[in-house]
Amino acid sequence: MASLTVGLVTMFLGWCCSLFTFIGAPIAIVLGLVSLSRIKNNPNLEGRGMAIAGIVMSGLALLLYIAMFAFGIGMSFFSSLVGP
C-alpha cells in the first residue's frame, strides 16, 4: 500500500517539483520490493498487485522525467548551435 501511495504522489507531484520524482521514486521502488519479498515469504499477506503497481508507476515516472530532462538538454544544445 505504501509503495502505491508514494508512487501516485511521485507520478502526480513529480511534474510540479522534480525533487518529488528523484526522492519519491526510489523510495516507492524500495518499498514495493520489500513488500513483494514479505508477501513471498508469508502467503497470507495480500497486496502484491499494489506493490507491483507502485513499482511500475514510480519507475515510469522516473524514466519519463529523465527522458524529459534529456530532451530539454538536447534542445538547449541544438538551439545554441543554430543561434538566436
Tens of pLDDT, residues 21-80: 888 889 999 999 999 999 999 989 999 999 999 899 889 888 988 888 888 887 777 777
pLDDT value of residue 37: 93
Contact 10, 21 (CB under 8 A): yes
pLDDT value of residue 68: 84
Q: Which helix (H) or strand (E) holds 42?
A: none
Contact 51, 4 (CB under 8 A): yes
pTM of the model: 0.79
Residue 84, pLDDT > 70, answer no
CB atoms near residue 84 (< 10 Å): 4
Instruction: Tell me the pLDDT band of 12, cut-offs 50, 70 and 90.
Output: confident
